């Protein structure tokens, strides 16, 4: 068994700083996608690999996150040549509730277990506790109270999360630490920009075996900021948003995720507009057959679609749904960037003509989108409807969508771009609507107006 590892070779400075912090109470205020959870999975293995080590109990609100933590821990076991049983899924009944536990048993006799974020999951446990994405759990205070009890016998408690509003218990607890009301806590703060400065993109290049350059790093940063758009302050810069503004909470969306939903994306360069007509038609048909045909062929029930138009700046998006009982299930999302009008129309008709039971569709009829919306309404009378989006439309339709999400009658893909699209809907003067854009610096890669 190899018991040492050169941290500087595998981790970045902010990750090493965390591992070198031996405080029993630690909190990490962090950006998304900087490898924080990955760091703690290594720490869990290091702390449990010897007979005098400790168990680690990882909690998060999302089952996929708990599963991934165990996979990451298994990776470190392999890297460190630590003998361990393969992770397993165990259903444990406590308080008449079934909870899913993912577990690694180390040769030392210690275990790493990933649990749901409920306080009773920690009862009768002893060891180190990790609460990941703490701002999104339902009972932050209850879990914190249960975890602190483990410190009596030498355990530790680590909290890490991105922000989820300025009045969230996670942020309120950080304020207490900063005011000195919680004196025993060690506070870490890592923004996305800091992570990049300390080598995040270089580490990504190393893992993907691609060449690093300053130009590529700049493009990478711009691309990430374009994903999170107006929500970048909270997701990347660790600045919580003002409470009561975000209409679709991330936690709500996470309960409706479907990882199997395909997303077909296609961008044409500026030269495509001037290609011969038959060549453009062939390219559209190829995209349809390769990326869309199989999926729509499996839609047996009543089909519905929404179409948001964009041309050279924003995306055009086609969202295809199937009615199954009370549920509207997303079957595929198609994103088009820099597509000429005629080719957008060609693709739309290919899709609609090949659906077995098309029952309805809404088309964005603002600005340049009105031309396509009008053509489609004439081609599919009684099925396609033009939509002129207004405050009245937002006030009527957004609550219906939110209600469907709350009742779990609507599915969304597990895709950061699309999940971030929901985050720009804010409650403005009592109306849920898309806020005015403020990050025009990434106009070239913005998704929606």
The CATH number that applies at residue 191 is: 3.40.50.300
Residue 358: inside a domain = yes
Residue 143: inside a domain = yes
**CATH at residue 312:** 3.30.420.240
Proportion of the chain above pLDDT 90, given as a percent:
75
Residue 181: inside a domain = yes
The pLDDT value given to residue 440: 38
Q: Same domain, yes or no, for 387 and 326?
A: yes
Judged against a pLDDT cut of 80, whether residue 448 lies above it is answered with no
Which of the listed residues 197, 212, 229 is the one where a domain comes to its end? 197
Spatial CA neighbour of 105 closest among 85, 134, 88: 85
State the SS3 of the chain: CCCCCCHHHHCCHHHHHHHHCCCCEEEEEECCCCCHHHHHHHHHHHHHCCCCCCCEEEEECCHHHHHHHHHHHHHHHHHCCCCECCCEEEEEEECCEEEEEEEEEECCCCEEEEEECCHHHHCCCCCEEEEECHHHCCCHHHHHHHHHHHHHHCCCEEEEECCCCCCCHHHHHHHHHHCCCCCCCEEEEECHHHHHHCCHHHHHHHHHCCCCCHHHHHHHHHHHHHHHHHHHHHHCCCCCCCCCCECCCHHHHHCCEECCCCEEEEECCHHHHHCCHHHHHHHHHHHHHHHCHHHHHCCCCCEEEEEECCCCCCCEEEEEEEEECCEEEEEEEEEEECCCHHHHHHHHHHHHHCCCCEEEEEEECCCCHHHHHHHHHHHCCCCEEEECCCHHHHHHHHHHHHHHHHCCCECEECCHHHHHHHHCEEEECCEEEECCCCCHHHHHHCCCC
Q: State pTM to two decimals.
A: 0.71
Residue 104: inside a domain = yes
The pLDDT value given to residue 305: 98
Residue 202: inside a domain = no
Q: Same domain, yes or no, for 193 and 255?
A: no
Q: Are 204 and 33 in contact (CB under 8 A)?
A: no
Judged against a pLDDT cut of 70, whether residue 337 lies above it is answered with yes
Q: Same domain, yes or no, for 321 and 414?
A: yes
Q: Same domain, yes or no, for 263 and 161?
A: no
Tally of domains in the chain: 2
Q: Same domain, yes or no, for 60 and 189?
A: yes
Residue 209: inside a domain = no
The pLDDT value given to residue 377: 96
The pLDDT value given to residue 442: 38
> Tens digit of pLDDT for each residue in 113-142?
999 888 888 988 999 999 999 998 989 999
Most confident of 60-64, 95-99, 230-234, 321-325: 321-325
Cα dihedral across residues 7, 8, 10, 12: positive or negative: positive
Q: Same domain, yes or no, for 191 and 261?
A: no
Mean pLDDT of the region 180-202: 97
Q: Same domain, yes or no, for 185 and 276?
A: no
Q: Same domain, yes or no, for 348 and 419?
A: yes
Residue 244: inside a domain = no
> Tens digit of pLDDT for each residue in 76-111?
999 999 999 977 777 665 555 677 899 999 999 999
Burial of 385-397, coded b for 16+ CB within 10 Å and e otherwise, reads ebbebeeeebeee
The pLDDT value given to residue 443: 42
Q: Same domain, yes or no, for 301 and 403?
A: yes
Q: Same domain, yes or no, for 189 and 259?
A: no
Residue 241: inside a domain = no
Q: Are 281 and 344 in contact (CB under 8 A)?
A: no
The pLDDT value given to residue 292: 98
Which of the listed residues 163, 197, 231 is the one where a domain comes to its end? 197
Judged against a pLDDT cut of 90, whether residue 303 lies above it is answered with yes
Q: Same domain, yes or no, for 286 and 187?
A: no
Q: Same domain, yes or no, for 17 and 137?
A: yes
Mean pLDDT of the region 256-282: 95
Which residue range(s) make up the domain with 290?
250-445
Q: What is the mean pLDDT of the chain?
A: 91
Confidence of residue 2 (pLDDT cuts 50, 70, 90): very low
The half-sphere exposure of 11 on its side-chain side, counting CA atoms within 13 A, is: 21
Which of the listed residues 133, 168, 197 is the one where a domain comes to its end? 197
């Amino acid at each position: 068994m190899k018991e040492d590892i050169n941290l500087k070779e595998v981790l970045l400075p902010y990750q090493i700083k965390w591992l070198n912090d031996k405080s029993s109470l630690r909190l990490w205020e962090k950006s998304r996608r900087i490898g924080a959870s990955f760091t703690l999975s290594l720490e869990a293995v290091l702390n449990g690999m010897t007979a005098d080590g400790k168990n680690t109990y990882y909690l998060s609100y999302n089952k996929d996150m708990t599963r991934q933590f165990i996979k990451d821990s298994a990776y470190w076991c392999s890297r460190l040549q630590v003998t361990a049983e393969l992770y397993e899924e165990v259903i444990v009944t406590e308080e008449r509730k079934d909870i899913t536990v993912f577990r690694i048993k180390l040769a030392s006799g210690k275990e790493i277990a990933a649990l749901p974020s409920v306080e009773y999951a920690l009862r009768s446990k002893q060891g180190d506790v990790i609460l990941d994405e703490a701002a999104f759990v339902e009972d932050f205070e209850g879990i914190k109270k249960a975890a602190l009890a483990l410190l009596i016998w030498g355990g530790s408690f680590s909290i890490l999360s991105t922000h989820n509003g300025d009045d969230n218990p996670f942020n309120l607890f950080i304020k207490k630490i900063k005011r000195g009301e919680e004196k025993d806590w060690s506070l870490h703060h890592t923004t996305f920009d800091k992570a990049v400065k300390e080598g995040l993109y270089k580490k990504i290049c190393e893992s993907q075996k691609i060449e690093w350059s300053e130009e590529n790093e700049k493009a990478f940063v711009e691309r990430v900021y374009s994903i999170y758009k107006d929500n970048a302050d909270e997701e990347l810069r660790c600045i919580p948003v003002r409470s009561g503004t975000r209409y679709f909470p991330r936690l709500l969306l996470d309960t409706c995720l479907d990882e199997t939903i395909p997303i077909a994306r296609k961008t044409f360069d500026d030269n495509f507009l001037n290609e011969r007509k038959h060549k453009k038609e062939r390219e559209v048909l190829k995209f349809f057959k390769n990326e869309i045909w199989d999926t729509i062929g499996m839609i047996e029930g009543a089909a519905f679609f929404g179409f948001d138009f964009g041309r050279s700046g924003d995306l055009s998006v086609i969202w295809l749904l199937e009615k199954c009982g009370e549920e509207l299930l997303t079957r595929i999302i198609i994103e088009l960037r820099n597509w000429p009008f005629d080719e957008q129309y060609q693709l739309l008709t290919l899709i609609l003509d090949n659906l077995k039971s098309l029952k309805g569709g809404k088309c964005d009829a603002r600005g340049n989108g009105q031309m396509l919306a009008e053509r489609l309404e004439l081609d599919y009378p009684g099925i396609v409807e033009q939509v002129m989006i207004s405050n009245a439309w937002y006030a009527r339709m957004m609550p219906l969508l939110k209600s469907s999400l709350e009742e779990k009658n609507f599915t969304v893909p597990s895709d950061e771009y699309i999940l971030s699209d929901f985050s720009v809907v804010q409650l403005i003067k009592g109306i849920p609507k898309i806020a005015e854009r403020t990050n025009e610096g990434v106009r070239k890669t913005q998704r929606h107006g």
